[in-house]
Structure 1
Amino acid sequence: MTLDRRQLALSLVTTLAVAPSLVRAATSAFFDVKTFGARGDGKAIDSDAINKAILAAYKAGGGTVVVPAGRYLCFSLRLKDRVTLLLSPGCVIEAADTAVHGRKYDLAEQELLEQFQDYGITHAHPALIYADGAVDIAIVGQGLFYGKGLVREGPNARWKGVKDWKSATELGLSLRDARRQNPAEVAMDGLAHRTVSLKNCRNVVLRDFMVLQGGHFSVFANNCDNVTIDNLLIDTNRDGIDIDGCRNVKVVNCKVNSPRDDAIVLKSSYSQGRKIFCENILISGCTTSAFGMGMVFEGTLPKLPEGQPYNNPGALGRIKIGTESNGGFRNIQITDCLCDHSRGILIGVVDGGLMEDVTISNITLRNPVNHPLFVRHAARLRAPEGTGIGAIRRIRFSDITVTGVQSKFACGVEGIPDGIIEDVSFSHLHITARGGGTTEEAALNPAEKRVASLEVNHMAPLPAYGLFARFARNVTVRDSTFDTETPDARPAIVFDRVTGGVVEGLRSVRDPKEAVVLRDCRDISVEGVTRIS
């Protein structure tokens, strides 16, 4: 391949649009992987050649590693400081199949006294491409990562809450040897579970490429600072984009189809052996869905009559905050996103940690397969000894349109008696549920579950068709419409043990006197409730 240096430099400067130091590094020198022995024929293993090109660029003080069109079978690629990986159109980097080529991915790196999260979250190195402690790095271009040889499962958490678990001290072993007492972890040697894996990195750009079948995690960033993830197309069978304990991150203009797990998720795990806030995060202009894997990538979405959902009731594909919450979350903005046939937006704290100042706005949710909007506090406390239950406050939902809401799944705010959720507001919501709720359902008292994960399916059906709030303080609903396609005997809103709140300017299908039900509440103002004619 003949490289036109001027054209590539101009293209990269335009594409990166980031800090000058990263642009200078990316355009200082070009390294064609075929010069280093890569074949791109879909038969040879090319990871050694690509890693040599990356190392050469790194030793040169930075540069751009160019992957021309072709199919490159690879084990772990290791991205280094001031290196940009440029994926040319027609380039496919495919995760090598361990059943055919052997178990040659890089090994797990973490040795922790307790592993409070799954193996896949704890370890960054078993990946198709990863960077650990790198600065000024980028992966750009219109190529494809195909995770064919990656695994999508792995060992669960190892901590004091697991039956029969014993610490390294109790076993009289080193941390490493204690971890390897678990046969499931030993069985992971040489396998990989992530496509793009970032750990302890700073100044990162991921732009324009695609991921198909990305393993357990398609893109995972842990304890990184100043990250831009822009215009990715991810179509996978587990998580799409995971941001764990990171700061100053933008996830923009991405399309993520993830039928069997979360599409875009923020975490704050204990995978670094300490608590780290996930903060200053923007998710904007993204589309998430849970159609069958490959349908978005191939453009083969099912043709359905208007309003009829794709028949996949187990779909996930949502935006979520708080699967792990040890460190906490603050200053999060989710805006201008479309969620189509997926679970709704679920946020909360279950392992301690503080969640505050989260804004969710200008969202369109079509045919959600469970609760469209939900804030949850629980006390699973998969965390170090002595961890408190945490807190949730200042959550804002505004300008959100939801259609096709299933009968038993309303929006919700669910705290616990010793974990009251504070200051949650809903404004300019337009929610259309399918209706069909009964008078018996209107009288229900949903099950309380203090020690639980973030999931809330155990509460359905809810006694309201629009919004149910319990164990909360200062809940506001303003200028919103809760409609139904068919008659529903439940009220639009039920507040249960809520202290302080306002319902103002509500339009619903129920008589104004029956639209809002208060159960053991104090200081709630209800004004301007009207019926949809």
Structure 2
Amino acid sequence: MKKRISLLIAISSAMFYNNLIAQKTPTYSWKNLPKIVQPTFAKDTFNVTTFGARPDGITLNTQAINEAITTCSKKGGGVVLVPNGMWLTGPIVLKSNVNLHIKKAATLLFTEDKSQYPLVEGSYEGKSAARNQSPISATNQENIAITGQGIIDGSGDVWRAVNKAQLTESAWNAKKASGGVLKANGLTWYPSEQFMKASVENRSMLLKEGVSLQSFADMKDFLRPNLLVITKCKKVLLEGVTFQNSPAWCLHPLMSENLTLRNLTIKNPEYAHNGDGMDIESCKNFLVDGCTIDVGDDAICIKSGKDEEGRKRGMPTENGIVRNCIVYNGHGGFVVGSEMSGGARNIFVYDCTFTGTDKGLRFKSVRGRGGIVENIYAKNIFMKDIAQEAIFFDMYYFVKFATDSPRDERPVVNEGTPIFRNMRFENIVCRGANKGIFVRGLSEMPIQNIQMSNIVLDTKIGAEFIDASNITLEKVTLISENTKPVIAVNNSDSLIFNAIQYKANTALLFAIAGERSKAIQILQTDSSKAQKQIEFTEGATKEAITVNTGK
């Protein structure tokens, strides 16, 4: 009976995997990029001052600004003008056919009075959750925009906790003097007793059947809003303005279509927990162009829901272009995951600079997420002073191991198995990082079909591949300080290393480990500069590798 059940599970898993492999998506290429439809607006202008708004930084203008937006929309649309000044306001709701235009010397400042933000049904990291209403939001709207050269400030510091280690001594003393409460050990500042209690008790904000929003009232202060949330909208334009100081994520387009984010400046403090720049979730047809980002978490991030809820939604983030962007501080420059259970595909990233981020190109997931990430293309990516990895794949996000290597367990492939495949990276330069390339798949589902070419990585450590399959490195230069080894391979197969360059007098060029390592080719690579070419450990054998120097 047990054998029969095992056989049925194996057949079911094989059918599931074969169905995934057979899925077809639209064909795009560098010559045939996705097309994004732009919104258009009537020329009629509605000045917020006409509705009683005052730019003195004291008057709460929530009603006046929302009345201007609603009136504009009802009259066929146009421009709602926010002139020069300091405009204090509560939550703003965008409406169809309205372009909210913020002049260069104007600041839209969201109030620190949290009672102005009612509890709403929202989303947290890909799952339905109770949140405070976002400072700016729109749902089921079409043809909307925020443009201009002004500033949108979310007053995020009154919402966030912060650790003492994240601040200078003077900043920490100022934070304590501002109010709030300290954790018992004196090392964490919280905005309020309510926030601290919910955090210390690890209370969930997720919405479940039979649980009302009112039941979250005693932890309201803990439910930080994202600065801007656009849900199920079509033809959206964000252009020219500065978004800063968000309570949580800065920009969160969700289940929307035809998005253009152009020439934005996005700023959050380095200590801003969940202070992502933009999280594009389950969206279709999007352009991110010419943005400058300096934040406390991932900068440009692709998501599509989390675990079973994300898989049921079944909406990949797809058909996107990211170009001409500069990222300073952030956990990753361009990121996919970890909430990618609906999948991501057909995304083109090019002509970008990452300076000082934790990681450069970052792909992350974990068992249980499911989802397929495929057809990701990146070229002309230039990086400097990357704290960790320049190119990073890891299917063990937030998993802790007794050792540095994942356990050699091979669960059955099922709907919770994430798949990352079919990507090409070319013309990438990184000067300064801890590690050049790190690829760690799952033993039951390797990272697969990745091509990297014309890459120069000047880093402390070269490259490492664990549970990877069908990976090609061609014309890749690895200038690493730690040369034992330059390239490490563990339980990976069908790898091609063609025309690899490295430092002279390298101690060890390749370290091959694991009995599942096989079909590894070294082509057109001069190994004579290395003191030792290849070392085999942990069950790997010489049969795993073929060397052809081309001489």
TM-score bin, normalised by smaller chain: 0.7 to 0.9
Residue 240 of structure 1 is aligned with which of 277, 281, 286? 277
Cα distance in structure 1, aligned partners of 2:362 and 2:282 = 18
TM-score by length of 1: 0.74
Q: Report the Cα offset of residue 410 of structure 1.
A: 3.9
Cα distance in structure 2, aligned partners of 1:140 and 1:379 = 37
Residue 74 of structure 1 is aligned with which of 89, 106, 111? 89
Q: Report what 1:266 is aligned to.
A: 302
- 2:236 is equivalent to residue 204 of structure 1: yes
The answer to whether the 8 A contact 1:512-1:529 is kept is: no
Secondary structure at the aligned position of 2:338 is classed as strand
Superposition map of 1:349-368 within 5 A:
349-350=365-366, 351-368=369-386
TM-score by length of 2: 0.72
One-letter amino acid matched to 2:159? V
Residues 184 and 517 of structure 1, relative CA distance in 2, 3 Å threshold: farther
Q: Report what 1:459 is aligned to.
A: none
Deviations 1:212-237 (A, max 9, x none): 21221211101110000000011113
Q: Report what 2:79 is aligned to.
A: 64
Cα distance in structure 1, aligned partners of 2:483 and 2:206 = 54
Cα distance in structure 2, aligned partners of 1:387 and 1:152 = 36
Cα distance in structure 2, aligned partners of 1:378 and 1:529 = 32
The answer to whether the 8 A contact 2:484-2:507 is kept is: no
Secondary structure at the aligned position of 1:103 is classed as helix
Cα distance in structure 2, aligned partners of 1:68 and 1:163 = 43
Deviations 1:77-105 (A, max 9, x none): 0100111101112110001011xxx5112
Residues 138 and 31 of structure 1, relative CA distance in 2, 3 Å threshold: same
The answer to whether the 8 A contact 2:91-2:135 is kept is: yes
Residues 167 and 466 of structure 1, relative CA distance in 2, 3 Å threshold: closer
Q: Report the Cα offset of residue 123 of structure 1.
A: 6.1
- 2:448 is equivalent to residue 412 of structure 1: no
- 2:112 is equivalent to residue 97 of structure 1: yes
- 2:544 is equivalent to residue 507 of structure 1: no
- 2:538 is equivalent to residue 522 of structure 1: no
The answer to whether the 8 A contact 2:266-2:293 is kept is: yes
Cα distance in structure 1, aligned partners of 2:77 and 2:237 = 15
Residue 225 of structure 2 is aligned with which of 190, 193, 208? 193
Secondary structure at the aligned position of 2:58 is classed as strand
Deviations 1:410-454 (A, max 9, x none): 411101111211111211110111x4xxxxxxxxxxxxxxxxxxx
Q: Report the Cα offset of residue 268 of structure 1.
A: 1.1
Which has the higher mean CA deviation after the structures are superposed, 142-151 or 39-48? 142-151
The answer to whether the 8 A contact 1:269-1:325 is kept is: yes
Cα distance in structure 1, aligned partners of 2:438 and 2:96 = 45
Secondary structure at the aligned position of 2:147 is classed as strand
Q: Report what 1:52 is aligned to.
A: 67
Q: Report what 1:127 is aligned to.
A: 134
Q: Report what 2:390 is aligned to.
A: 372
The answer to whether the 8 A contact 1:155-1:184 is kept is: no
Q: Report the Cα offset of residue 76 of structure 1.
A: 0.4
Query: Considering only aligned residues, what root-mean-square deviation do their CA atoms show, in Å?
Result: 3.1
Secondary structure at the aligned position of 1:325 is classed as coil
Secondary structure at the aligned position of 1:243 is classed as strand
Q: Report what 1:445 is aligned to.
A: none
The answer to whether the 8 A contact 1:128-1:192 is kept is: no
Q: Report the Cα offset of residue 125 of structure 1.
A: 6.8
Cα distance in structure 2, aligned partners of 1:148 and 1:329 = 32
Q: Report the Cα offset of residue 195 of structure 1.
A: 2.0
One-letter amino acid matched to 1:151? W
Deviations 1:61-82 (A, max 9, x none): 2111011101111110010011
Residues 397 and 18 of structure 1, relative CA distance in 2, 3 Å threshold: closer
Superposition map of 1:95-494 within 5 A:
95-98=110-113, 103-110=115-122, 117=125, 122=129, 126-148=133-155, 151-152=159-160, 175-177=210-212, 181=215, 185-188=219-222, 193-237=225-269, 238-258=275-295, 260-270=296-306, 274-290=313-329, 316=331, 318-344=333-359, 345-350=361-366, 351-378=369-396, 387-406=415-434, 409-433=435-459, 435=460, 465-484=461-480, 486=481, 488-494=482-488
Identity %: 24
Secondary structure at the aligned position of 1:84 is classed as strand
Residues 116 and 416 of structure 1, relative CA distance in 2, 3 Å threshold: farther
One-letter amino acid matched to 1:234? I
One-letter amino acid matched to 1:73? L
Q: Report the Cα offset of residue 274 of structure 1.
A: 2.0
Cα distance in structure 1, aligned partners of 2:262 and 2:380 = 19
Q: Report the Cα offset of residue 106 of structure 1.
A: 3.7
Cα distance in structure 2, aligned partners of 1:124 and 1:199 = 14
Q: Report the Cα offset of residue 241 of structure 1.
A: 1.1
Secondary structure at the aligned position of 2:125 is classed as coil
Cα distance in structure 2, aligned partners of 1:128 and 1:118 = 19
In structure 1, the gaps of 5 or more residues are: 1-16, 291-314, 436-464
Secondary structure at the aligned position of 2:389 is classed as coil
Q: Report the Cα offset of residue 199 of structure 1.
A: 0.7
The answer to whether the 8 A contact 1:124-1:199 is kept is: no
In structure 2, the gaps of 5 or more residues are: 1-34, 162-193, 270-274, 400-413, 531-551
Q: Report the Cα offset of residue 187 of structure 1.
A: 3.9
Q: Report the Cα offset of residue 276 of structure 1.
A: 1.6
Deviations 1:168-205 (A, max 9, x none): 99xxxx5333x6545664445xx752222211110000
The answer to whether the 8 A contact 1:87-1:142 is kept is: yes
Cα distance in structure 2, aligned partners of 1:394 and 1:416 = 16
One-letter amino acid matched to 1:356? E
Secondary structure at the aligned position of 1:50 is classed as helix
The answer to whether the 8 A contact 1:180-1:186 is kept is: no
Q: Report the Cα offset of residue 167 of structure 1.
A: 10
Deviations 1:377-411 (A, max 9, x none): 24889xxxx842121111222111001123xx341
Residues 65 and 116 of structure 1, relative CA distance in 2, 3 Å threshold: closer
The answer to whether the 8 A contact 2:60-2:88 is kept is: yes
Residues 71 and 279 of structure 1, relative CA distance in 2, 3 Å threshold: same
One-letter amino acid matched to 1:176? V
Q: Report the Cα offset of residue 342 of structure 1.
A: 0.8
Q: Report the Cα offset of residue 155 of structure 1.
A: 9.1
Residues 184 and 414 of structure 1, relative CA distance in 2, 3 Å threshold: farther
Superposition map of 1:24-63 within 5 A:
26-63=41-78
Secondary structure at the aligned position of 1:324 is classed as coil
How many residues of Structure 1 are paired with residues of Structure 2 in the alignment? 432
Deviations 1:286-336 (A, max 9, x none): 01111xxxxxxxxxxxxxxxxxxxxxxxx6353211120111111111111
Which has the higher mean CA deviation after the structures are superposed, 489-498 or 270-279? 270-279
Cα distance in structure 2, aligned partners of 1:164 and 1:87 = 38
Secondary structure at the aligned position of 2:512 is classed as strand
